Structure 1
Amino acid sequence: MARSIWKGSIAFGLVNIPVSLTGAEVRPDVQLHMVDSKNHARIRYERVNADSGEEVPWDRMVRGYEYEEGQFILLSDKELESVEPKLTKTIEISEFVKLDEIDPLLFDKPYYLEPDKRGRKAYALLREALRKSGKAGISRVVIRTREYLSAMFVRDDVLVLMLLRFPQEMKASAKLDLPVSSDKEWQPAKREMQLAERLIDEMSEKWNPKNYHDEYREALMEYIEKKIRSGDTVEDVKEGDEEEPKLKGNVVDLAAYLEQSIGKKPKAAAARKKPAAKKTAKKAVKHAKKSASKKARRSA
């Protein structure tokens, strides 16, 4: 049985649905510790006064806000508690919006909502109403001591509560140096666009997240287990550095690259089974560029 973070209720108009909130994500990270190479002892971090260098005990530690360099406003636990959001166990839906209108960049952390036995019928009602409408319920929820903006929507037979980032937490993209879509210099040629669309169609698949997994974590754990089995006598495995293909000149024949790509869509399963796929792809790109270059010389 999943461990719930808290038990409360969903307020859907005058309908009250008792639920429990459960984390929906698992992070099986490989934990690496900082260790002294001399005697393999764990490294301990100390709380040190930046001016005196002396270690500071816990009972002297307070929180402070630096409003100017070197100038702090000290805040006690009691003062912080006075401005904390009112602890509530109610997820009160304030409005409904189309789910596809919420920018995916605002999605932060998912939770599952599980109904209490008394609220199963009302839970099913809200779930099916949301499913049919394609909308999400917007609400504010307090988890531990922090208030979050959230969106409630349906996935399969479960109501998902997705914590959202506030728009102010997102960096604006306006300061990035990007090719402006309205600038004629960056307008794609008709043939390039047709080939790009054709390649996208050819490489399109039905989304299946089960096809993807954390390859780095698996490789790291496999290597660690190998070192353990061998008594830590395994030599470092280092792959040779490969140079990225260099472009000749500033003009790139996109149509030629796209033509080379069409009909050569890699199979997802094969790509996962063969670690050398990246090297093969690099060789293919290199070959495509050579072919395009030869074609250009012949045309000239």
Structure 2
Amino acid sequence: MARPIWTGTLSFGLLNVPVSLMPGERSVDLHFRMLDSRSNTPIRYERVNAETGEEVPWKEIVKAFEYEKGSYVILEPEDIKSAASEGREAVEVEAFVDKDSIGPEYFEKPYVLVPGKKAEKGYVLFRETLKRTGKVGIARVVIRTREYLSAVMPKGDALMLMLLRYPQELVDAGDYKIPEGAASKHRISPKEMQMAEQLIDSMSGDWVPDDYRDEFRSRLRKVIEKRLKSKGVVKPPADDEADMPENATTNVVDFMALLQKSLASKKRTPAKRELAKSTRKVAAKKASVAKKVTAKRASKKRAPARSAG
């Protein structure tokens, strides 16, 4: 179960409804790791000083605004908090507008407002009033120190909070070269227009969101599963293993194997047992590598030196 972003109130006028702000979307992306192709080890991003190249710990990092090239003004956490509105845990509705008056370009991210205990009456009152009037509430809300413009609107039995973009964040379409004028100005004949309308009519239907899937992600997942089954994983060459540091094990391959087992069983694997197996495999592999390196070095010592000729 997702955790609330914050718990506060939804308010307009004198009506205050206790609510929790819950995520309205979930990430379904496939996340990849970047590896060093020479050793098959993960690449780590570090915070380094641009002048010295030394890593900077989090406690030494501050936020600053670059007002000129190379010139900064440092902001303290209190400075940023002071710029936010006082109602940090409140959705404060400032106005109501027609639901069709907000262009699609303004909508950015959805959240769900969930009523608190014994707050159902005020929640339903707000929801049903919005439905009857065809209005949405325009509100300000603070999420993780940043203040957003938002729209509160009904969706079935729920109240959705949609983050909105400010006009300053949008690019005016007039900044681009857009063809202007009527169809006749662009030599479009009435017959062509009629045929285009017939095509749209033949392809028209009801909007059913479940009919659409992220086909790229599905195909990519199949490619990954196929790659796992064929053992098409990247392993470091045997000759290069001697140069690998002790902590540069093949953990990536071991965890990919765990993923394959999970996909096959569609069950969560007991973490401790599988981690123990993984650790034993890594230890055995490291011992095997050390044995090969020792044997290789011994053979080099026994080999006679070549004469220059």
TM-score normalised by length of structure 1? 0.73
Q: Secondary structure at the match of 2:159?
A: strand
How far apart, in 1, do the equivalents of 2:233 and 2:34 lie? 20
Check whether the contact 1:113–1:160 (CA below 8 A) recurs between aligned residues: yes
How far apart, in 1, do the equivalents of 2:78 and 2:156 lie? 44
The alpha carbon displacement at 1:18 in A equals: 1.2
The alpha carbon displacement at 1:75 in A equals: 2.0
How far apart, in 2, do the equivalents of 1:112 and 1:132 lie? 20
Q: Where does residue 165 of structure 1 map in the other structure?
A: 165
Residues 48 and 127 from structure 1, CA distance in 2 versus in 1: closer, same or farther, beyond 3 angstroms? same
User: What aligned pairs does 1:204-243 form with structure 2 within 5 A after superposition?
Assistant: 204-232=204-232
Residues 187 and 12 from structure 1, CA distance in 2 versus in 1: closer, same or farther, beyond 3 angstroms? farther
**Structure 1 residue identity aligned to 2:57:** P
Greater shift in the superposed pair: 81-90 or 131-140: 81-90
**Structure 1 residue identity aligned to 2:198:** R
Q: Secondary structure at the match of 2:53?
A: coil
Say yes or no: does 1:98 pair with 2:98: yes
Residues 91 and 82 from structure 1, CA distance in 2 versus in 1: closer, same or farther, beyond 3 angstroms? closer
The alpha carbon displacement at 1:185 in A equals: 3.3
Residues 101 and 74 from structure 1, CA distance in 2 versus in 1: closer, same or farther, beyond 3 angstroms? same
**Structure 1 residue identity aligned to 2:136:** A
The alpha carbon displacement at 1:2 in A equals: 4.3
The alpha carbon displacement at 1:108 in A equals: 0.6
Q: State the Cα deviation string for residues 205-237 of structure 1 (Å, max 9, x = none).
A: 100010001111111111111111121179xxx
Check whether the contact 1:64–1:75 (CA below 8 A) recurs between aligned residues: yes
Q: Where does residue 22 of structure 2 map in the other structure?
A: 22
**Which runs of at least 4 in structure 1 moved beyond 6 Å after TM superposition?**
none
TM-score normalised by length of structure 2? 0.71
Percent identity between matched residues is 46
**Structure 2 residue identity aligned to 1:44:** R
Greater shift in the superposed pair: 203-212 or 1-10: 1-10
How far apart, in 2, do the equivalents of 1:80 and 1:10 lie? 24
User: What aligned pairs does 1:1-300 form with structure 2 within 5 A after superposition?
Assistant: 1-182=1-182, 185-186=185-186, 188-232=188-232
Check whether the contact 2:108–2:164 (CA below 8 A) recurs between aligned residues: yes
Residues 60 and 122 from structure 1, CA distance in 2 versus in 1: closer, same or farther, beyond 3 angstroms? closer
Residues 15 and 60 from structure 1, CA distance in 2 versus in 1: closer, same or farther, beyond 3 angstroms? closer
Residues 220 and 106 from structure 1, CA distance in 2 versus in 1: closer, same or farther, beyond 3 angstroms? same
The alpha carbon displacement at 1:182 in A equals: 4.7
The alpha carbon displacement at 1:183 in A equals: 8.1
CA RMSD, 1 decimal: 1.9
The alpha carbon displacement at 1:23 in A equals: 0.6
Residues 10 and 87 from structure 1, CA distance in 2 versus in 1: closer, same or farther, beyond 3 angstroms? closer
For these two proteins, the number of residue pairs brought into alignment is 234
**Structure 1 residue identity aligned to 2:84:** E
Structure richer in helix, relative to its length: 2
